[in-house]
Each structure stands twice: as C-alpha cells, then as structure tokens.
Amino acid sequence: MIIQLEQNITDSVKESIIEQVKSLNYKPTEVVTQIGKYIIGIGKDEFDIRQIGSLEGINDIHIVSDSYQLVSKKWKVSDTQIDLGDGVTIGADSFAMMAGPCSIEGEENIYKTIAHLKENGINIMRGGVYKPRSSPYSFRGMGIEGLKIWYKAARENGIKIVTEVMQVSQIEEMYDYVDIFQVGARNTQNFNLLDELGKVDKAVMIKRGISGTIDELLHSAEYVFSGGNERLLLCERGIRTYEKASRNTFDINAIPILKDKTHLPVISDPSHGIGIRDHVDPVALASIIAGADGVIFEIHDKPEEAYSDGQQTLDFDESAKLVKKIRSVLQLRESF
C-alpha cells in the first residue's frame, strides 16, 4: 500500500499511522522524496482500506498489488512528466529525442554534433565519458575532463546532457555537468548506485539489464524513487537471447507493457536494440508507434571512425532523415 502523507504532518501523527500499518501485518517504510512524503506498506493480508484512510495526516491511500509500489500505475494513473528546465520536458505529451556519439571524443566532435542537433530540433545530447568495457585494455572514455568540455559547449547552445554514471563516487563530480544521469545495462541492479541516485535532484534514466526482466527494471526504479528521487526515466535497449543475427533482441513488447504498468516515461534505444546501422531506423519508428515517450540513438559525423559502436551509429544524413520520419510517426500516433 502507498499512503501519501500531508506535507506538514507532525512526527507523532506519522508514528501513529506507522503503528496502524504494523498492526495490519504490513511492514512500513517511510519515504521522503523531493516532492512528497509517503509510507509504503509491504504485506499480503487483506484489510479494510477505511481503517487507514480515515486517519489524520493522510492525503490519500492506494492498494497496489504489484511488488513495486511508487512506480506503479495502479497508484498514479496519469503519466509523469520530467522537467529538465529551460522548457525541456519528457513524458506525458512531450516526446524526447536524444542523440550523440557512443563516446565523447573531443571538442571537434562535440561541436559538430551540437550543430547537427540544433539544425534538427533535438535538444538532448547523449555521449559516454565513462565507458563500461568488457576488456580492461579498451578505451574507457575521456572522464570528467571530457564532460566539462562537453558541458560548456552544450550550455552555450541550449542542449541538455544525458550520460552514464558508473559508480557512486562519480555522482558528486559529475553532478554540476549532467542533466540526466544514465544507469547502464550492466548497472541496472547495482543497488548502491540506485540508492545514491535517489538522493540526487536530477533526472535518472535506468536502462533495462542486459538480460533483465521488465519486473526487475521496475524494481530498480523503485529503489531510486523510494530513495527520494521521483524524476525517473526507463529505457528499453534490447535483451540478450539466443538469436545472433542482431546484437540484442529489441523487446518491442516491453514498450506497451511498461506503459501499462508504470507512470514513468519509457525511452527506446534502437541503436543497441538491433546494433545494425542500416536497421536502426525501422526499430526506432516501431518503438514510437508502439508508444515510447522518447528515443535515444547514436550518431557521428563519421561513424566508421567512431571510437566505439560505429557499426550501429548513424551519420548526420541518416539522422536527419530519421528525425523527419519520427515526427511523421508521432503526428500519426497523436491522431489515433
């Protein structure tokens, strides 16, 4: 159950609610986010909702049968919108486009990419400065210095930044230069990282695990939300299956299922989802007609020279064409 408390509730009133929750054989957890105050009760027994609902200090109470609670649409039925400031919003009626290179490679690449984004009306740039690599001998990213250069260029041009954070100790140093902290597919269940991101007042986008279930993704979001941060995005990026004709198997089913289960915005990553440059376009469009709230894809002025992921990266011509198609598909979707 989710109990929404009054903002100015006193400690003694809160304690009596907690006692009442315990008496129903539910385990209470207090949650204070940047937006609201809640008590989450975990249990299985049936009870009469009026026993709690009529108590002092309570705004509202919801029975949520899912094991995740605060991210469930059974509680909050309207779609959540994330506000990045400067008029950039994601979710509800705001569709998000995020594009950029796999790795941030240097000033020239940054400025060329930003110019392309502005020409095409994209206002969020992706790029990695800390790169998770399976081999320790591979390029691991430009690090914080790369982020600072990128940030300067982005702010000059009104562009927001989404980039991966790999560990707790990076949060603080990255904080000033990031608009959306991305949790990568290898860290979806790095629970300490999720806990810490719950304390941050910036948006967090959680990628589905490499072979994560939809349910696990929602539980990972519950970590951040119950840690205090409601500004959350979820991202489908393909799962690992036996099929090796594509890098991953983009789980198109996950789009409507997530939209049905949660009020959080759902972003699709067709670049990793299929991993083949020529086919990023159909997967992107498919995810949008299926209901995605945004799309993140890899672009580079010279994909064949990119430091990483060149095989799934669009050049600027391809990107411009895709953006046009995305706008047409969105327009059609809105007409349904």
211-240: contacts with a second copy (CB under 8 A): 211, 213-216, 219-220, 222-223, 226-227, 239-240
Side-chain half-sphere CA neighbours of 294 within 13 A: 29
Q: How far apart are CA 303 and CA 316, in angstroms?
A: 9
Within 8 A by CB and 6+ apart from 74, the residues are 62, 63, 64, 65, 66
Distance of CA 108 to the CA centre of its chain: 28
How many residues of this chain interact with a second copy, rule: CB under 8 A?
Answer: 75
Give the x/- contact pattern for a second copy in 115-134, rule: CB under 8 A. Answer: -----------------xxx
Q: Which of 85, 93, 317, 336 binds a second copy (CB under 8 A)?
A: 336
Within 8 A by CB and 6+ apart from 142, the residues are 103, 104, 105, 106, 129, 149
Exposed, middle or buried: residue 178 (CB in 10 Å: 0-12, 13-18, 19+)? buried
Q: For a second copy, which is the closer residue by CB, 10 or 167?
A: 167
Q: For a second copy, which is the closer residue by CB, 123 or 220?
A: 220
Minimum distance of a second copy from residue 160's CB (angstroms): 25
Q: For a second copy, which is the closer residue by CB, 124 or 200?
A: 200
Going by C-alpha positions, the residue among 150, 227, 145 that lies closest to residue 183 is 227
Q: Which of 278, 302, 304, 305 binds a second copy (CB under 8 A)?
A: 278
Q: How far apart are CA 288 and CA 299, in angstroms?
A: 19
> Are residues 161 and 151 in contact, defined by beta-carbon separation less than 8 angstroms?
yes
Q: For a second copy, which is the closer residue by CB, 118 or 139?
A: 139
Q: How far apart are CA 324 and CA 148, in angstroms?
A: 31
Can residue 173 be called a binding residue for a second copy (CB under 8 A)? no
Binders of a second copy in range 194-213 (CB under 8 A): 195, 209-211, 213
The letter for the amino acid at 2 is: I
Can residue 169 be called a binding residue for a second copy (CB under 8 A)? yes
Q: For a second copy, which is the closer residue by CB, 87 or 136?
A: 136
Q: How far apart are CA 102 and CA 85, in angstroms?
A: 25
Mapped onto helix, strand or coil, the DSSP state of residue 329 is helix
Within 8 A by CB and 6+ apart from 135, the residues are none
Can residue 51 be called a binding residue for a second copy (CB under 8 A)? no
Q: Which of 9, 291, 315, 320 binds a second copy (CB under 8 A)?
A: 291
Binders of a second copy in range 241-260 (CB under 8 A): 241-246, 249-257, 260
Q: For a second copy, which is the closer residue by CB, 96 or 218?
A: 218
Can residue 42 be called a binding residue for a second copy (CB under 8 A)? yes
Binders of a second copy in range 129-168 (CB under 8 A): 132-137, 166-168
Q: How far apart are CA 86 and CA 161, in angstroms?
A: 13
The letter for the amino acid at 20 is: Q
Minimum distance of a second copy from residue 223's CB (angstroms): 5
Minimum distance of a second copy from residue 8's CB (angstroms): 26
Minimum distance of a second copy from residue 286's CB (angstroms): 4
Give the x/- contact pattern for a second copy in 72-111, rule: CB under 8 A. Answer: ----------------------------------------
Mapped onto helix, strand or coil, the DSSP state of residue 66 is coil
Minimum distance of a second copy from residue 250's CB (angstroms): 5
Can residue 25 be called a binding residue for a second copy (CB under 8 A)? no
Q: For a second copy, which is the closer residue by CB, 178 or 288?
A: 288
Q: How far apart are CA 192 and CA 259, in angstroms?
A: 26
